[in-house]
Amino acid sequence: MSDSSHRLRSVLLLLLLSALFYGASFVKLPGVDRLADDYFSESIKAASIAYATTRGVNAVVSVAKESHLELAPAGVGVTIAAGQILDPIDDMTERLSSILVAAIASIGIQKLGFEIGEAVSFKAIAVILLLAIPLIWLNSPTLTTLLHPAIKLCLILLLLRFMLPTSALISDSLYSNWLQPGIEDSVEKLTIVSNSYDAMSNMTSEENEGFFSSMTAGATNKVAKTRAAFLNMVENAENIISSLLNLMTAYLAIFVVQVLLLPLAMLWLLVALFKSRTLDVFTTSLTGRLTAA
């Protein structure tokens, strides 16, 4: 009778815990989940803006490189091959674009993993606890041996549910405190250059002019806009290269932290916990309490 009542209490406890975990799967963790979700959304948005700005700078460079611009410093006509001057900037924008694409993809994968963990972890624990009920109720030594790994898996899933948003908060701290100011400053400087491409792309001819005069005016206007954009890049070449380098460094850091360091650290911690003697002792003790006569 004592054994049956104990098993009944254990079953009711597992049912209660299963219902609680299932209900908790529909509720965000106070503060943590919201902060993590905001970080992913804001960082993807910032990286997308940086990518669009970088492609704008690359477009301006491409237009200018296709031209030989006639400049006249101090009254002396000098023809400068734009490509020779703009090649370093062009190369850096191409490399930065690739890094930004990789960074956006990595943040997106992290966000997807966070959302999957948020939706699945507690539900999986609830299902495992339900499946553990027959193991206790039947009181078979063979089946009871399965209870230990089941409870251990629940504990691992519980830790994983908290580790994923914690990883996002670590990334957010790195981004907000060290990287964001430099990224925003660099994007602002590069936006001045990328805006000149919009100006060149949106040039329109005067409606009241004839066909040939409008073509001539449009060509002259385009040459003037291209020359202005080129001169602007030459005058600000140091700032442009510095901004590109800052963005490249920042998003390389984000990529390394989110794709390499944090996932590897989490994997190492999970493996260490799975092999931990302390976790085994705790799980064994919990299993004993559920199955004790």
pLDDT tens digits for range 228-285: 666 666 676 778 888 888 888 888 888 888 777 887 888 788 788 777 777 777 787 7
Residue 38 domain boundaries: 2-291
pTM for the predicted model, two decimal places: 0.72
Strand, helix or coil at 186? helix
Taking the C-alpha atoms of residue 113 and residue 32, their distance in angstroms, rounded to an integer, is 15
At 27 the three-state DSSP class reads coil
* pLDDT recorded at residue 124: 92
Say if CB 279 and CB 273 are below 8 A apart. Answer: yes
Other beta carbons less than 10 A from residue 240's beta carbon: 25
The answer to whether the beta carbons of residues 132 and 152 sit under 8 Å apart is: no
pLDDT band at 104 (very low <50, low <70, confident <90, very high): confident
Judge whether 223 and 236 are in contact, CB under 8 Å.
Answer: no
- Residue 126 tokens read as 């609830």
Q: Copy the structure tokens of residue 238.
A: 């140091």
Closest CA to 161 of 10, 29, 18, 3: 29
Asked whether 107 and 44 are in contact (CB, 8 A), the reply is: yes
Overall number of domains in the chain: 1
